[in-house]
Structure 1
Amino acid sequence: MTLEVAVQYAVPRAGVPAARGLHAAARAAWRGEDSAGVTLRIVDADEGRELNHAFRGRDYATNVLSFPAPDDLIMPPGAGPACLGDIVLCDPVLQREAREQGKRVNDHYTHMVVHGMLHLQGFDHQDAGEAAEMEALETAILAGLGLPDPYRTAGADPGCDARGAHGL
């Protein structure tokens, strides 16, 4: 039940959470019984907007996008664990949201990594029931990391536009 996490910084690293904290968030959200790998890519607003437009038809940068690996992805022998997918985090959006919601930047990043990891594992929030289940799981995972409920923070928006790119 190990999760290998690769972090790609496509932005200057000043003010962006360290890879160690991002690794911890991803691993805390991993529910699988087999080993897997995930890539976290931290991007600027231009790349975030381009990806959101290309995969969701929305011409603005969003906080997090989740790209699950195809079910039929075949890993060559010795290539390492199965690929779970990729999570793209848009730094300027996360920085702004943290400021507006009165959250620490690291806490907001942690929440969005957990959110993205749950999307990669099949969780969604297309209706109220799914949203309640996903938010409860996010809150429990974050509590296990010593963080407060992100949906109870002043200014927090439960519909945080954190919908993954998987067909949304």
Structure 2
Amino acid sequence: MMLVEADVSDEWDSRTDWTSLADRAVRAAIDHSRHAGLADGEAEVSVKFTDDAEVRALNAAWRGKDKPTNVLSFPMVEPARLGRPGETMLGDIVLAHGICAAEAAEKGVAIETHASHLVVHGALHLLGYDHETTDADADAMEETERRALASIGIADPYRVTEVNT
């Protein structure tokens, strides 16, 4: 059985069920990925909704970038080993509240919508997807994100609309 655990800090609005949001977004990412069968097996993902300072510290420690970022992913399984017996902990996803809220406001979407996108994005990184190596990899990851988000009722976050001035 797929297990998604969430840890939510005080910065995140307590009126939102962030645990259910994380569960729904991770499952959508897996279901629409090249590893769809993982959602039916023994797999675990941890999602932490925290503040910018903690994400900045993690980003500095693990990536050598002393600045906060919207989402970090820490895979626990090599992509080639996904789905093998004993490989159940896929990894951790960490979201920074301040950056997530600012990006949501900039995009004109609810923070829950943007956080769902970031959780899907982070989950795909846990599954070996990459958007930094080649344009083809980036395109494949974005298309998988689009399908996953559409399945939970979220519009294409990459759609560009022209503004006539």
**The TM-score by the shorter chain falls in which range?**
0.7 to 0.9
**Match of 2:113?**
107
1:12 is displaced (CA, Å) by 3.6
CA distance in 2 between counterparts of 1:55 and 1:115 reads: 18
**Match of 1:85?**
91
1:10 is displaced (CA, Å) by 2.7
1:101 is displaced (CA, Å) by 1.2
**Match of 1:49?**
56
Contact 2:11 2:50 in 1 (8 A): no
Contact 1:64 1:90 in 2 (8 A): yes
Structure having the higher helix fraction is 2
CA distance in 2 between counterparts of 1:110 and 1:45 reads: 17
**Match of 2:28?**
28
Go from structure 1 to structure 2 and tell me whether the alpha carbon gap of 1:42 and 1:13 turns closer, same or farther (over 3 Å shift).
same
CA distance in 1 between counterparts of 2:111 and 2:12 reads: 13
Go from structure 1 to structure 2 and tell me whether the alpha carbon gap of 1:16 and 1:151 turns closer, same or farther (over 3 Å shift).
farther
Go from structure 1 to structure 2 and tell me whether the alpha carbon gap of 1:43 and 1:153 turns closer, same or farther (over 3 Å shift).
farther
TM-score (norm 1): 0.80
The Cα RMSD (Å) is 2.1
Contact 1:11 1:42 in 2 (8 A): no
TM-score (norm 2): 0.81
Go from structure 1 to structure 2 and tell me whether the alpha carbon gap of 1:38 and 1:16 turns closer, same or farther (over 3 Å shift).
farther
- Give the residue type in structure 1 aligned to 2:130: D
CA distance in 2 between counterparts of 1:96 and 1:3 reads: 31
Q: Number of matched residues?
A: 146
**Match of 1:151?**
158
Match of 1:124 among 122, 127, 130: 130
Sequence identity of aligned pairs in percent? 40
Where structure 2 has 5 or more consecutive residues not aligned to the other structure, the ranges are 31-35, 79-85
Which structure 1 residue ranges, 4+ long, deviate > 6 Å from structure 2? none
CA distance in 2 between counterparts of 1:26 and 1:7 reads: 11
